[in-house]
Amino acid sequence: MRRAALAAALGAVLAAAVVTGPAAGAKPGGTLRMVFVSDPPTLDPAHATDLTSSAVIRQVFDALLELDEKLVPAPALAERWTVSADARTYTFHLRRGVKFHTGREVRAADVKASFERAAKGKRPWVFEKLVGARDFIKGGAPEIAGVRVVDDATVELRLDRPFAPFLHLIAYDAASIVPREEADKRGAGFASHPVGTGAFRFVSWRRDDQVVLERFPEHFRGPAHLDRVVFRVIPAEATRYNEYVSGQLDVSDIPTGRCRAVQADARLKSEAAIWATLGTSALRFNVERAPFGDARVRKALAHAIDPSIIVERLLEGCVTPAQGIVPPVLAGWTPAAKRLPLDRERAKKLLAEAGFPGGRGLGPLAYHYNTSDINQRIAEALQAQLKEIGVTLELRRLDWAAHIKLVDDGSAGFFRQGWIADYPDPENFLTVLFHSRNVGAPGNTSRYKNPALDRLLDEADTMAPGPERVKRYQQAEQMILDDAVWVSLYHYASRGLVKAHVKGLERSAQSTAPEFLAPLRKVWLER
């Protein structure tokens, strides 16, 4: 009953959250005061790997395409595109007269230069589907053969093989278009003085303090409503909250453990915005490490874990328990997979079958997680839950850098590692995380190798979007869950605070609080 009430409340907040102010009647002017948890490491799209950097990059730069509110690829610098019958050649037609912040017009050659520059950056996987990209990245070719400048306003991209989510990659911020001469002139300094075509141009960046952007009046969509955007950098959660309630920030995040309190607060509840995002929190097993090579042990543990307790008691019901791997919020996705149900009797039976009756002979199992208050509490909850089937967990907490190293190199057997989608497609969850070619740091940290699964994923990755493709991924997802390689806990949700005078701030499933990876050109202030 209580859960139903909470679900209803969450639903109401979710519904309220997606409502954005209409553009009609938008008032120009004002400064939007936003906040980051940490300083962006870079403002160069070629080198960014984090949400904070992306939040600025998306305002300063444009890509050929962008994702709309529903995360569907839409025209940006490219006004239209065509796809060949074999789905391997994409031709993009650029808008005429689009200007960089320096005043120079964008040409198709900038697209080629930007892609080749970024392919040698920190996210080469965005470009690796292009013909000749791997050769170029390794230094074996002078250019990416699959990027051809047809004329000043047309660029053709050829793929090694069809790849359904390719347009999402083109809309990704790593594929932002940069003016080559500026990037060359500034070198590494481009990361501190970015120049793009975006609706806002860079003004200043005082490290660990604030990034300031201002409206670019000549943006191809017309000038943004806001005069300026200031991103403050405030690492302490309590300080961000105090700044917000003092009226010094227009948006922020809801502090950990205050989700229900904020929703019950007469003043704040109307400003609370909670929305589902494209991410799943999970526990993973490394199948190459004993005893997790034995599926019966993995299944026993999966059957003994109850995510609903974690969601209700530790996360205040502000996220939803996960059945599958792919979040239901993904557009075009129909959730069908079911995680192994809570069944402690079945868990005990499986343990006995594996040769560990009542957990005897299993010894304490190390559970690895990265330092955070909520991860600690979840670890303690898991410890208590697994105790009920005779399994003792030894908690191993490390900071993120140390944790990810153990996970990547296969030293951890049982560990926490969720996933937040790079782009909205099931391929980004299932192929990246479970295909045998991605073992280790590329994503498959379970080190799972299943030829039948690989075949299914390879097939789905190259199919045209539609129900048949979704069906393949659904089969793959169930296969993974049945084999208990991954135990889903919950799907992530963003928990933000937005002042009533902030209008037009989109909250898509890829947007997170407090960064709000939203196009700020649509935002205006009603004062």
- Residues binding other proteins (CB under 8 A): 38-39, 41-42, 47, 49-50, 122-125, 137-138, 188-189, 191-192, 206-210, 232-236, 238-239, 242-243, 245-246, 248, 398-402, 404-406, 408, 419-420, 422, 432, 440-443
Query: Which phi and psi angles does 113 have, rounded to 5°?
Result: -65, -40
Q: Within a 13 Å sphere around the CA of 23, how many CA atoms are in the beta-carbon half?
A: 7
Do the beta carbons of residue 340 and residue 349 sit within 8 Å?
no
Of 38 and 270, CB closest to other proteins: 38
Cβ neighbours, 10 Å, residue 475: 17
Beta carbon of residue 214, minimum distance to other proteins (angstroms, whole number): 17
Beta carbon of residue 242, minimum distance to other proteins (angstroms, whole number): 5
Terminal-to-terminal C-alpha distance of the chain: 41
Beta carbon of residue 236, minimum distance to other proteins (angstroms, whole number): 5
Burial class (CB in 10 A: 0-12, 13-18, 19+), 238: exposed
- Computed over its alpha carbons, how large is the radius of gyration of the chain? 24
Of 119 and 311, CB closest to other proteins: 119
Of 271 and 306, CB closest to other proteins: 271
Listing DSSP states for 282-347 in one string gives EEEE-TTSTTTTSHHHHHHHHHH--HHHIIIIISTT-SEE-SSSS-TTSTT------PPPP-HHHH
Of 15 and 238, CB closest to other proteins: 238
> What are all long-range contacts of 328-331, with beta carbons under 8 Å and residues at least 24 apart?
328/276, 328/491, 329/276, 329/277, 329/278, 329/491, 329/509, 330/278, 330/421, 330/424, 330/425, 330/426, 330/509, 331/70, 331/71, 331/72, 331/424, 331/509
Beta carbon of residue 16, minimum distance to other proteins (angstroms, whole number): 26
Of 221 and 405, CB closest to other proteins: 405
Of 399 and 468, CB closest to other proteins: 399
Beta carbon of residue 169, minimum distance to other proteins (angstroms, whole number): 13
Compute the CA torsion angle 373, 375, 379, 382 (nearest 10 deg).
Answer: 120
Of 148 and 397, CB closest to other proteins: 397
Beta carbon of residue 46, minimum distance to other proteins (angstroms, whole number): 11
Beta carbon of residue 405, minimum distance to other proteins (angstroms, whole number): 5
Of 54 and 508, CB closest to other proteins: 54
